[in-house]
Amino acid sequence: MRIIGGAHRGKVLKVPKDLPVRPTTDFAKEALFNILNNKVDFTELSVLDLFSGTGHIALEFASRGASSVSAVDMHVKCVRFLAEASKQLQLNITAVKSDVFEFLKKSGGQYSLIFADPPYELPNIADIHRLVLEKHLLAADGLLIIEHGPKTNLAELPGFEQMRKYGHVHFSFFTFSGSQIIQS
C-alpha cells in the first residue's frame, strides 16, 4: 500500500496478507484525490472513513493534513494495522473497531467529509446514506462519498451530485445544504 500525497507521499506500507480487504486501486484513489483537491481544503476537514479496511483512505487524508480522521472497521486486525501505521507515521487517526451501521446509529460526532467503502455486494448500501442524514453526521455543506461497484446505482438518493467511475470502482458524491440535513 502506497500513500500518494501529502507529508508521507510515496511511503509504502506492508499490509499483512491475512486482512479481509479489497483496497481501492491506486488508480481510483489517485483520481478521487484529484477531484477532492479541487473541492476541499484538507487542513479544515474532519473525516470519517467507514469500512476502512487497511485505512489507506484515512492515511491519505491524514497525510494531506486533515484536522481529524476517524476510521471504522469491524475487523480487529484491520483496526490494529491502521492504529500501528498511524502511530509509526505520527498521524492523528482514531481507529475504531465497530460494525459500521451500529457506529452510525450511536455516533454523536459531525464530520465535514464521510467516505464509505462497503463491500460491493452489500444489499443495504443505501442505509449508509440514510443513517448519515438521520443522525446528522455530516456538517452543513459537507461531502459524502460512497464507493461501490458497477451494479449499484445511488443517483436517486437525496443530495446526489455525481458519479465517477474508474474501471470497476465507482464513487458517488453527495452534497447537502444545512436545510437538507435538518429535513431528513
Tell me the pLDDT tens digit for each residue of 128-141: 999 999 999 999 88
Higher pLDDT, 25 or 166: 166
Its pTM stands at 0.93
Kind and range of the H or E element at 77? helix 76-88
The rounded radius of gyration (Å) of the Cα atoms in the chain is 15
pLDDT confidence tier of residue 178, bands split at 50, 70 and 90? low
Give the residue-averaged pLDDT of 26-39.
Answer: 92
**Residue 74's closest CA among 119, 133, 126?**
119
Sheet holding 160-166, edge to edge: 93-97, 68-73, 46-50, 111-116, 138-148, 169-175, 160-166
Q: Please report how many Cα atoms fall inside a 13 Å half-sphere around the Cα of residue 44, on the Cβ side.
A: 10
**Residue 9's closest CA among 92, 65, 70, 93?**
65
Amino acid (1-letter code) at residue 57: I
pLDDT of residue 179: 44
User: Domains of the chain by range and CATH?
Assistant: 25-183 (3.40.50.150)
Per DSSP, helices labelled H in the chain are 26-37, 56-63, 76-88, 100-106, 126-134, 178-183
Q: How far is the C-alpha of 114 from the C-alpha of 116, rounded, in Å? A: 7
How does DSSP classify residue 155? T
Q: Determine which of 114-118, 146-150, 173-177 has the lowest per-residue pLDDT on average.
A: 173-177
Q: What percent of the chain has pLDDT over 70?
A: 96
Q: How far is the C-alpha of 163 from the C-alpha of 147, rounded, in Å? A: 10
